[in-house]
Amino acid sequence: MNHIKLTYDKLDPTEISELAVHESCGAVSLFIGTTRDNFDGKQVTKLEYEAYDDMAIKIMNKICDEMRLFWPDIKNICIYHRLGLVPVKEASVVIACSSPHRNTSLEALPFALRNLKQSVPIFKREYYKDKNGSSEWKENPECTWSKKYQQQLINNNLN
């Protein structure tokens, strides 16, 4: 079963990992992405996430389908992403999956995270602790629509 969710509520990793558990499985792998208090020498106070909800849910389900193609013995997959403001130390993304043996879930988890960051239309804004209270919208470098990703494609095609 797939458990996919975009929410403005605080994420509870224990609750999410319990959704991943299955009686036929001996492994649940869990990733929790949290807001850290710094980036590139700037003090971060919080993050803000926005999403193109319908498209994001559609792509998150596609990621689950692809995981099941590569690892057919996966039982439950959870991909939860928080929207709105996320303070330092709180979870912005939780991914969990269960499988009969640990290797499957341990291999599938990075695949889910990489594809989430690469293809799901979720956008992040960092807020900084400075006298102006500045903020900046950030792109994931692995995101297919980012300038860095597009430049990598160009460079690879030139070589």
Annotated binding site: 101-102, 117, 124-126
Question: In angstroms, rounded to a whole number, what is the distance separating the alpha carbons of residues 44 and 124?
Answer: 13
Q: What is the DSSP string of 53-87?
A: HHHHHHHHHHHHHHHHHH-TT---EEEEEE-EEEE
- The pair phi, psi for residue 36, each rounded to 5°, is -95, 165
Task: Write down how long the chain is.
Answer: 159
Q: Enumerate the known binding-site residues for substrate.
A: 101-102, 117, 124-126
